[in-house]
Amino acid sequence: MKKKEIQQLKTELSSKKKIVIVTHKNPDGDAIGSSLAVYIYLKKQGHNVQVIVPNEYPEFLKWMPQNEFIIIYEKHKTKAKKLILEAELIFTLDFNAFSRAGDMQEILEKATANFVLIDHHQQPDNYAKYTYTDVTICSTAQMVYHFIEFMDGLDVLDKEIATTIYTGIMTDTGSFRFRSTSSTTHRVVADLIDHGADNAFIHESVFDNNSLEKMQLLGVALNNLKIIPEYHTAYITLSQKELDANHFKKGDYEGFVNYALSVENVILAAIFVESKEDDLIKISFRSKGSFSVNKFARNHFEGGGHDNASGGKSNRSLEDTISYFISKLHGYKIELSHD
């Protein structure tokens, strides 16, 4: 963020404002963690703040401090629309194009507020008065820490803010193991622990509340795992029938794609999940090294994300999506073939 922008934003935040914080559709730990951190921080500064998320999110994120104040757009459209239209400042966190906000896209386009964009994805749109974007930072949550630092606000860091930021960093770095986890990340996390973030409690709250059904769905997913050795590729499929048979709940297959990526010699992994409700196939891609799944998802599956983690969708049947996916791999023969 430029010095001049920091100064301007500081001035804007020096008087009480109506502020709305929004994040992307199907919010993950980074999206919810970042939103709650900014929410708690700004509320402590005396602002009138609301968090609005496009749709439901998994149970394993609902233990977070002040989670009960999050407004789900899908369920409370009238109230959410009014808040967005009346806001003076709108923070958009963990995404950088209105299209990623699902059904909220239209109302965000109508809003007259000044936008603050804080995000670590590639190719940001140009809608914000204040843009803080950096693709080298592991998580939006870490950027929220730096944002508070830019605002000279670190003295208000408390257990709740530390906990929500920690959760965002932990979930987006695969518990501090992805390449994007830097020495700065660890310094930030150390400071969060010093301010009350309980690392074991947070980890257990997110990862150790698995239902038996989720574990059995993992069994199905691992059974469906396929390897294409010549392209160092692994993929998993889950049909609607398989989801139903295991009483699928939102978030149940999150992280499954990492099992595909963990297979020896695999550099590209994918999971394809059938959604009858949305009438499409939801896809997550992961890669190791220089193969960009951001480009792959953008080019072939109406998606995007990061170089090593991205998502997309397909309107074909599950079977046809897999055939299409395999047919597209041929075009990346050189990148995917080397050992």
Which residues bind to Mn ion, rule: CB under 5 A?
A: 30, 94, 140, 172
Number of other residues whose CB lies within 10 A of the CB of residue 240 = 14
Question: Which residues neighbour 311 within 8 Å (Cβ) at sequence distance 6 or greater?
Answer: 282, 283, 284, 285, 297, 303, 304, 305
**Least distance between Mn ion and beta carbon 198 (Å):** 22
Q: Residue 27 binds which entry of ligand 5GP, Mn ion, none, with Cβ cut-offs from 5 to 8 Å by kind?
A: none
Query: Would you say 24 or 232 has its CB closer to ligand 5GP?
Result: 24
Residue nearest to Mn ion (CB): 30
Q: Residue 311 binds which entry of ligand 5GP, Mn ion, none, with Cβ cut-offs from 5 to 8 Å by kind?
A: ligand 5GP
**Least distance between Mn ion and beta carbon 294 (Å):** 13
Sheet containing 18-23: which strands, arranged edge to edge? 71-72, 48-53, 18-23, 89-93, 114-119, 130-133
Q: Residue 185 binds which entry of Mn ion, ligand 5GP, none, with Cβ cut-offs from 5 to 8 Å by kind?
A: none
Alpha-carbon span 100 to 303, nearest angstrom: 10
Q: Residue 119 binds which entry of Mn ion, ligand 5GP, none, with Cβ cut-offs from 5 to 8 Å by kind?
A: none
Decide: helix, strand or coil at residue 231: helix
Query: Would you say 93 or 162 has its CB closer to ligand 5GP?
Result: 93
Distances (CA, A) of 227 to 79, 128, 232, 244, 317: 48, 43, 8, 25, 20
Query: Would you say 138 or 157 has its CB closer to Mn ion?
Result: 138
> What DSSP string describes 156-196?
G--HHHHHHHHHHHHHHTTTTTSTT--HHHHHHHHHHHHTT
Using CB under 6 A, list all residues that contact ligand 5GP. Answer: 24, 100, 284, 303-306, 309-312
**Least distance between ligand 5GP and beta carbon 292 (Å):** 12
**Least distance between ligand 5GP and beta carbon 310 (Å):** 4
- Please, where are the H alpha helices in the chain? 3-12, 29-44, 77-86, 105-110, 140-150, 159-172, 183-194, 199-207, 212-223, 240-245, 257-261, 293-300, 318-329, 333-337
**Least distance between Mn ion and beta carbon 333 (Å):** 31
Instruction: Give residue for tokens 């409370």.
Output: 76
Query: Would you say 32 or 87 has its CB closer to ligand 5GP?
Result: 32
**Least distance between ligand 5GP and beta carbon 299 (Å):** 12
Query: Would you say 33 or 305 has its CB closer to ligand 5GP?
Result: 305
**Least distance between Mn ion and beta carbon 329 (Å):** 27
Query: Would you say 161 or 281 has its CB closer to ligand 5GP?
Result: 281
Q: Residue 23 binds which entry of ligand 5GP, Mn ion, none, with Cβ cut-offs from 5 to 8 Å by kind?
A: none
Query: Would you say 92 or 239 has its CB closer to Mn ion?
Result: 92
Backbone torsion region of residue 111, taken as left when φ is above 0, otherwise alpha when ψ lies between -120 and 50, otherwise beta: beta
**Rg of the chain on CA atoms, in Å:** 20
In this structure, what token pair is assigned to residue 247? 């009483």
